[in-house]
């Protein structure tokens, strides 16, 4: 029997090979292909456990070759305090979708973080006002850092407010990102006041209660709601959802686990009230921002095609430079 080898990419290889700019381009391409009807709807499966849960996201993309990827992620918010472990841990399995051959297994944590930030950047490119200069980041962990760096690639930010339930973490975030991005980053204690001064707001928390309501947002704001990736999580009040233009990554997915889920449950919106999936906007099938005054919400629950696109470019780059470890799975 012919020996088959699979490429293993550890966190250090992922971090050294996959850049944010490459990830943004790959994720935009994935949304466009999906919006053009060139990719099948991705699949998701979730299971809850004590203190957290697991999800499996899988999808197919026809890039320069056909790829299938499945990501298995564990998400346990109290991991750092309880065990000194990361909140998110998992792996992505990448396969050749023409013949089923497993190609690579790679650590998922940094890929998940980068592709999530990349989706916000793509959404902001099409949905935020071009003259947006002030942003608020709510949630100053690693994902918040990636979100702000991704936003800075598509909008010329001049000032940022950083809010976190931990004031110390918000201050560390402000100090680090101000030096990194060379813009003003200020930690704040009043989230609503900061958002009322902002053109863009990103929420990336584990909150299970609304953080922002209708009275907290000024006209013309773009909001990327990133944290609600299971049915228990919620960052935006249903009344805010009901009075805003809603763009989702995947409608079926957001209807059961995003902030859209809570608005639907409250009875203040229906699925037909959703303006578009982001892929439809990227593909030009539906308009993005249509006025300077409208409030637009991007409900981002994490689309599996983002993972496929990021994993594919990472795998191809690793193959070119000879990075990673080849594992023999068959004799």
Which residue in the list 57, 71, 125, 233 is annotated as catalytic? Answer: 71
Name the residue with tokens 């859209």.
260
Start-to-end Cα distance in the chain: 6
**DSSP codes of every residue in 212-234:** E-GGG--TT-EEEE-S--STT-E
- How many C-beta atoms lie closer than 10 Å to residue 324's C-beta? 22
Judge whether 71 counts as a catalytic residue: yes
**DSSP tag of 10:** -
Pairing of strands 245-248, 325-328: unpaired
Task: For residue 69, give both structure tokens.
Answer: 């990827």
- Indicate the Cα dihedral angle 17, 21, 26, 27, nearest 10°: 120
Of 145, 199, 151, give the one whose Cα is nearest residue 173. Answer: 145
- How many C-beta atoms lie closer than 10 Å to residue 196's C-beta? 15
Residue 108 exposed, middle or buried by CB count within 10 Å (0-12, 13-18, 19+) = buried
**DSSP tag of 150:** H
Q: How far apart are CA 64 and CA 10, in angstroms?
A: 24
User: What phi and psi values does residue 252 have, to the nearest 5 degrees?
Assistant: -60, -35
- 195 by DSSP, 3-state: which? helix
* Residues noted as catalytic: 71
């Amino acid at each position: 029997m012919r020996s088959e080898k699979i490429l293993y990419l550890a966190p250090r290889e992922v971090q050294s090979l996959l850049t944010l700019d490459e990830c943004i381009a790959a994720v935009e391409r994935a949304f466009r292909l999906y919006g053009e009807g060139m990719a099948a709807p991705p699949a998701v499966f979730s299971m809850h456990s004590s203190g957290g849960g697991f999800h499996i996201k899988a999808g197919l993309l026809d890039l320069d070759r056909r790829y299938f990827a499945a990501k298995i992620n564990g998400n346990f918010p109290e991991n750092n305090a309880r065990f000194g472990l990361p909140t998110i841990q998992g792996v992505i399995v990448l396969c050749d979708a023409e013949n089923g051959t497993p190609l690579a297994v790679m650590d998922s944590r940094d890929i998940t973080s980068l592709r999530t930030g990349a989706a916000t950047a793509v959404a902001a490119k099409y949905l935020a006002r071009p003259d947006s200069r002030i942003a608020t980041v709510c949630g100053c962990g690693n994902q918040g850092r990636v979100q702000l760096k991704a936003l800075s690639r598509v909008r010329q930010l001049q000032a940022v407010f950083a809010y976190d339930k931990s004031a110390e973490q918000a201050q560390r975030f402000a100090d680090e990102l101000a030096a990194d991005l060379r813009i003003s980053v200020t930690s704040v204690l009043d989230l609503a006041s900061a958002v009322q001064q902002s053109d863009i707001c990103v929420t990336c928390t584990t909150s299970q209660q609304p953080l922002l309501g209708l009275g907290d947002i000024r006209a013309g704001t773009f909001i990327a709601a990133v944290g609600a990736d299971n049915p228990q999580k919620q960052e935006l009040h249903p009344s805010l959802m009901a009075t805003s233009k809603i763009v989702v990554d995947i409608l079926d997915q957001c209807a059961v686990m995003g902030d859209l889920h809570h608005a639907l449950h409250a009875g203040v919106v229906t699925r037909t009230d959703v303006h578009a999936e982001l892929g439809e906007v990227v593909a030009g099938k539906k308009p993005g921002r249509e006025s300077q005054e409208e409030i637009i919400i991007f409900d981002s629950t994490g689309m599996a095609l983002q993972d496929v696109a990021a994993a594919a470019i990472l795998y191809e780059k690793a193959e070119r430079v000879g990075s990673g470890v080849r594992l023999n799975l068959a004799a």
